[in-house]
Amino acid sequence: MRIGEHVAAALAAGQPILALESTIITHGLPRPRNLKVGLEAQEQLRAAGVTPATIGVVRGEAIVGLNDDELAEIANDDSVVKLSVRDLPIAAVRGLSGGTTVAVTAFLAQKAGVRVFSTGGLGGVHRGASETFDESADLIALAQYPLVLVSAGVKSILDIPATLERFETLNVPVVGYRTKHYPGFYVSDSGYEVEYQADSPEEIAAIAKARDELGIKSAVVVANPVPKEFELDPALHDAKIEQALAECKARGIHGHDITPFLLDYMQRETSGESLEANLAVYRGNVALGAEIAKALASK
């Protein structure tokens, strides 16, 4: 693992840093918009006084804090793969380049000493998991690495109530940001609630500090809903998700191939509306993550 020079300098100075995953760049967005969004997120953070730590794997090397050239390389590489924690040793030996999922981004961020991480949507329990045992490695990672993670809920294709139950079982606290309505990625309200809400970045930072003082090792998961004005129409969302699930089943698509298929399907079937909602989610989570990182750095 290598820590980028700008991230190493920020760590040494105790400055706020926000980790960002890279599968949104490698697998979540179409070219050339993927690279543009990645660079814009980094500029958004710098403008807010926060150091960006975009995490990815370039030719077998895990990097916490990709520079612009490295980000462009994985954004435009046709052979780039989607990596989780289990894949890191193989990627290292084979010299693979890859986008990092939430699980491996969390692993590398905490290993480097970065305490806050923003993403779009989380992985979780897949529908039908009682038969397939299909659960995202994100859940286990969030039970092991004491970060603050900002997301807009779990991906819409997942079993949301089962995922919330797994968070409880794994002792992962889930806190709604200014709401108890758990978001559903493209929509601000999934129809399910969480027990707690936090109303400021400073309150979230205080929760993380109390967790650390107690020696609890799990992440604090902050559920930050997409603003209502940017969400996908809930009725359209539900109809297209059901169609996407049926298409997945018909084509035999499963495992980590589901999410890229879902994102592409939703973009095509909503004439780009889901893409704009996705980007609004991401920008909002980056903004909130920046404020939490600043609040934590000041404690």
Give the whole-angstrom CA distance, residue 274 versus residue 227: 14
**Distance between CA 263 and CA 244 in Å, rounded?**
9
Tokens for 96, please give them. Answer: 């693979």
Active site residue 276: no
Cα–Cα distance measured from residue 236 to residue 230, given in angstroms and rounded to the nearest whole number: 14
- Candidates 70, 82, 155, 240; catalytic one: 155
| Residues whose CB is less than 8 angstroms from the CB of residue 58 and which lie 6 or more positions away in sequence, other chains included | 66, 70, 73, 74, 97
Distances (CA, A) of 129 to 126, 133, 185: 5, 4, 20
Which H or E run contains 62?
A: strand 61-64
The neighbour count for residue 260, using CB atoms within 10 Å, is: 15
Q: Look at the block and give the residue holding tokens 């819409």.
A: 156
The 8-class DSSP code of residue 174 comes to: E
Q: Are 170 and 163 in contact (CB under 8 A)?
A: no
Q: What Å distances lie between residue 155 and 68, 82, 163, 193, 292, CA to CA? A: 28, 16, 10, 16, 23
**CA–CA gap between residue 62 and residue 59 (Å, rounded):** 9
Give the C-alpha separation, 299 to 152, whole Å: 26
For this structure, is 21 an active site residue? yes
Please identify every residue annotated as catalytic.
21, 155
